[in-house]
Structures are given as C-alpha cells and as structure tokens.
C-alpha cells in the first residue's frame, strides 16, 4: 500500500478540477494546469477532495498510484499558491540582473551569460546576488533553476558559484606545503 497514494488531496475553495478524456485540468486564481492521467489508476473528484485509486493490485498500477497523486497535488498547489526557488550567487564580481525577458549573469567569463526566461516563469533579482524564480508549474520552476545553476555550479575549494538558497556545499582543503 502506498502511503502517499492513500492520502486524499484537499481542494481549496477557489480551485476547480475537471477530468476529460484522461486529462485532469485544474483551474485556480494563478492560472490553469493540466496533466495526462495513467490508465492504471482511477481518479475520483469529490466536493472538496481528490482520491487516487489503483485499478488493479499489480506492480505497475501501484507504481503509478503515488506518482499520480503527487502530480495532481502539485497541480493544485501550483494554481493556488505557486512555487518559488531562490538561488544565491557567491563570488567576487558575480552578479545578476533582469533586463526585460532576459536574465543577465556576470559570472567571471569573458562575456556576460544571457538566459532567456521561459514562458510561464517570472524571475526577479531583489539583490544583485539573489535570483528568485516563480511560477505555477513545479517542473518548469525547478528546471529553470537547474539550468541557471548549471552556468557556474558551486566549486568545493572557495565555494564560488550559483547555489540554491540554504544549499550546503562541502568544502575541501587546499594544497599544503
């Protein structure tokens, strides 16, 4: 039995969920998201909750049970609250700024790195060393944060680079004489 799959998903008052032709569509104050449902699970929408039930006791159905419940929960959370990831930049001269639909990063390369902001994502730089990524799709927010971090991941000797907020970077000791 899936511990995650057994839990019911609470639907807030301002969110509506509809299933049509194997696609669940969730609409809320922040927007609308949809996901394709797997054939091995059955989704039931009540007045204030959504339940996911496997159609058979085989391994494939049980595997998709918890996954489907988590995906639907992320849709509901995204359209009601949204998701936020924060990145920190550490290093002398490293900074970021948003210019229109482009994030410009000075990361110690000969030229600034320019990153086009994907559709549905909002990027803010409250400080030159802090990037906030917001959106309703959890996968897009996480993918955008990972792509920006990939430009200069934190290195273990001085800790310079782009890291997630509250990420611990294991520091190594340098050469000894």
pLDDT in tens, 52-79: 999 888 888 888 999 999 999 999 999 9
Does 75 share its domain with 87? no
Query: Range of 13's domain?
Result: 3-80
Q: Are residues 90 and 73 in the same domain?
A: no
The pLDDT of residue 104: 95
- Is the residue at 139 inside a domain? yes
**Is 169 a domain residue?**
no
d(Cα 170, Cα 77) in Å, to the nearest integer? 32
Q: pLDDT tens across 78-125, in order?
A: 999 999 999 999 999 999 999 999 999 999 999 999 999 999 999 999
């Amino acid at each position: 039995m899936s511990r995650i799959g057994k839990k019911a998903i609470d639907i807030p008052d301002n969110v509506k969920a509809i299933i049509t032709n194997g696609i669940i569509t969730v609409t809320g104050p922040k927007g609308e998201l949809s996901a394709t449902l797997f054939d091995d699970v059955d989704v039931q929408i009540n007045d204030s909750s959504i339940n996911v039930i496997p159609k058979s006791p085989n391994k494939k159905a049980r595997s998709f049970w918890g996954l489907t419940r988590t995906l639907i929960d992320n849709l509901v959370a995204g359209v009601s609250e949204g998701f936020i990831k924060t990145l920190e930049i550490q290093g002398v001269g490293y900074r970021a700024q948003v210019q229109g639909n482009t994030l410009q990063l000075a990361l110690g390369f000969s030229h600034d790195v320019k990153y086009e902001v994907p559709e549905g994502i909002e990027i803010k730089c409250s400080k030159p060393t802090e990037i906030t990524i917001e959106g309703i799709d959890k996968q897009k927010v996480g993918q955008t944060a990972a792509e920006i971090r990939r430009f200069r991941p934190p290195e273990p000797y001085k800790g310079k680079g782009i890291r997630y907020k509250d990420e611990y970077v294991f520091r190594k000791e340098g050469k000894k004489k």
